[in-house]
Amino acid sequence: MVVYQGKGVYGAVAIGKVSVFKRQAAAVRRVSIEDTAAEIARVEAAKALAVEQLSAIHDKALKEVGEANAEIFEIHIMMLDDEDYNDSITSIIETQKVNAEYAVAATSDNFSEMFANMDDAYMQARAADVKDISNRLIACLTDSGSGTESSDEKMIVCADDLAPSETVSLDKDKVLAFVTAFGSSNSHTAILARNMNIPAVIGVGEDFLNSIADGDMMIVDGHTGEVFVSPDDETMKRLSAKQEDDARKKKLLQDLKGKENVTLDGTKVKIYANIGGVGGIGAVLANDAGGIGLFRSEFLYLESEDYPTEEQQFNAYRKVLESMSGKKVVIRTLDIGADKQIDYFRLDKEDNPALGFRAIRICLTRPEIFRTQLRALYRASAFGELGIMFPMITSVSEVEKCLAMCGEVKKELDDAGIRYNDKTEVGIMIETPAAAVISDKLAPLVDFFSVGTNDLTQYTLACDRQNAKLESFVDTHHEAVLRLIEMSAKNAHANNAWIGICGELAADLTLTEAFLRMGIDELSVSPPFVLPLREKVRSIDLNK
Amino acid sequence: MKEFAYTIKDEIGIHARPAGNLVKLIKGFSSSVTIEKEGKPAINATALMKLMGLGVKCGDTVKFTVEGDDEEAAAKAIEEFMSANL
């Protein structure tokens, strides 16, 4: 058994035989020709064929992955029709007296290089599009198709990389999963796989294709990103069980998907999901969460070598908001401290990081960092239903300072003529006992509260979360914590604010009824807990 | 000849789809249209890949020059397209 590790882009297990994706060898030969007009005519004919193929792919994509994802193929058709692109091909044929394939390949290199060298990630990705259309044109010229050996059996398709058009062209009914040696989880191909509900693992590494052959047994675990070639019995047993577990969950999903989060007596509650990066969006949607109740923005800072720019942050926030297409997304501003170190922040080492210089305290002390994040958030607010949430609040004056900063940022955007959603909700975390106790003073200032039960418990019970020795002293259902939550809920509602819970307690099914009785409006849990929680809510009767 | 400037409001700038639609629109007129980003030479506005290659971002100002028999109508249509889409 050989195990490869890549990135899982769709969480499911597939067990089956390998089918290696065969592509027309990219090596295009340069051949001298005499009749340049005939070569140009060949290009024209190939182009017509390529446009025909792309139109068919566009129609297939429209049905399988929706309009927004199918659009790329319409753009491919336009790119094939581009004057400069075509002029370049024609002129290489005429001036160098070479074959059409070579002229297309050379043109492809020039144009894709132009895009690859641009300083904008969106435009860099267009380099792959240029290569994709050019390879199609070359394939049309040489009249050799690409694809997998046709077989009646469902197979696991393995490739070095798959272009978007190749992914969509695969016959969905014959593909169990796909595995690629290269590629990133944000690529168009990964997004398409997610939308097609096909288990996929990408970026397993260069030597992968050398060690597999058609017909090899393989297990693909899209949850963990593991790929097992010729799995042993024990692995086979373990992954089969996981596959059955997936099937059970899928059934739960089918039964509960689209259903309301409503109790037997008709009380409704919102169930949202918590995620820590753009990669979590697939799981949020797959589990039918009504929105994102906590989007941790730290990943942007942790993944970066230096402070992430406004543009980088804006692109990430916009992506989340657009992916959630109008559903609520609550993004929490930077929440780091001495326990979650980031080198370039140069934070001092502290004896007591939980009570130290962290979260909003850093943001209010270093407003340039905070301002960049708020600008990115407000700019992104034009693309969906954003809520902005401040962590570690303990006082009225902190909230007032945050709101003043929001006001300044909005004014800057107004002055620059940049759009944002003026109705963007602003809220705070209730995670310190202080905030809960003065929640009557805080609620009038904000649109919502979200209770972070992990920190609220740690601070209320004076028990360090990191200290394993204290476990027996931490009663996660401690009445003091529950009273603080109830107090916050009352004060929120008295001031027309809503209140959610985004800590671990939100997923604790033994407390769901208690939370509903307190009038909690929203529970935000990690994606796999959304449907079990929905099931629980639907079994509760508050009249009893 | 008609000239006008436009400042991009769309957050990701002139990206693939609006660029494609702009090219389609301009091809419907007989006038020749060039587009110029500050500091770069003007390009023929029907050249899709060059247009995308300009890397026009939010806040950038581009200058259009329209010349031909239907320049009035073309300039008006382009201005409308820009303010509606970009």
B23 and A78 in contact by Cβ < 8 A?
Answer: yes
CATH number at residue A108: 1.10.274.10
**Which is more confident, B11 or A180?**
A180
- The ranges assigned to domains in chain B are 2-85
Shared domain check, A314 and A296: yes
Q: What's the CA dihedral at A163, A168, A172, A178 to 10 degrees? A: 20
Convert A500-537 to b/e letters by CB count within 10 Å (16 or more is b).
Answer: bbbbbbbbbeebbbebbebebbbbbbbbebbbbbbebb
Beta strands in B1-86 (DSSP E): 2-7, 32-37, 43-44, 61-67
Shared domain check, A322 and A286: yes
Shared domain check, A409 and A275: yes
B49 and A130 in contact by Cβ < 8 A?
Answer: yes
Third-level CATH fold of B2-85 = Histidine-containing Protein; Chain: A; (3.30.1340)
* Full DSSP string of A430-475: E-SHHHHHTHHHHGGG-SEEEE-HHHHHHHHTT--TT-GGGGGG--
CA A112 and chain centroid, separation? 26
- Domain range for A219 is 2-23+147-236
Q: How far apart are CA A355 and CA A343, in angstroms?
A: 20
CATH number at residue A512: 3.20.20.60
Query: What is chain A's percent helix, strand, coil content, to nearest 5?
Result: 55, 15, 30
Residue A248 lies inside a defined structural domain of this protein: no
pTM of the model: 0.56
Q: Decide: A514 and A269 in contact? Cβ < 8 Å.
A: no
B10 touches chain A (CB under 8 A): no
Question: Does the pLDDT at position A67 exceed 80?
Answer: no
Our count of domains for chain A comes to 3
Residues of A in contact with B15 (CB under 8 A): 122
Q: Decide: A289 and A272 in contact? Cβ < 8 Å.
A: yes
B16 and A82 in contact by Cβ < 8 A?
Answer: no
Which residues, at least 6 apart from A282, have a Cβ–Cβ distance to it below 8 Å? A9, A10, A11, A194
Residues of A in contact with B60 (CB under 8 A): none
Residue A134 lies inside a defined structural domain of this protein: yes
Shared domain check, A211 and A153: yes
> CA of B2 to nearest chain A CA: how many angstroms apart?
24
pLDDT of residue A145: 52
A275-324 pLDDT, tens digit each: 988 888 988 988 899 999 999 998 888 888 899 999 999 999 999 999 99
B57 and A383 in contact by Cβ < 8 A?
Answer: no
Shared domain check, A232 and A153: yes
- ipTM confidence: 0.80
The runs of H, that is alpha helices, within A149-214 are 164-169, 188-196
Closest of A305, A331, A337 to residue A318, by C-alpha: A331
A251-265 pLDDT, tens digit each: 877 788 889 999 999
> CA of B17 to nearest chain A CA: how many angstroms apart?
6
Return the SS3 of A69. Answer: helix
DSSP A160: S
Closest of A359, A21, A362, A401 to residue A180, by C-alpha: A21
Shared domain check, A295 and A416: yes
To test the contact with chain B by mutation, choose from A123, A134, A319 the residue with the greatest count of B C-beta atoms within 10 A, namely: A123
Q: How far apart are CA A516 and CA A536, in angstroms?
A: 11
A7-23 pLDDT, tens digit each: 887 778 999 999 888 76
CA closest to B8 among chain A residues: A418
B50 touches chain A (CB under 8 A): yes
Residue A466 lies inside a defined structural domain of this protein: no
Question: Does the pLDDT at position A500 exceed 90?
Answer: yes
Shared domain check, A285 and A152: no
To test the contact with chain B by mutation, choose from A54, A73, A79 the residue with the greatest count of B C-beta atoms within 10 A, namely: A79
> CA of B59 to nearest chain A CA: how many angstroms apart?
9
The answer to whether residue B63 is catalytic is: no
Shared domain check, A510 and A375: yes
A418 and B58 in contact by Cβ < 8 A?
Answer: yes
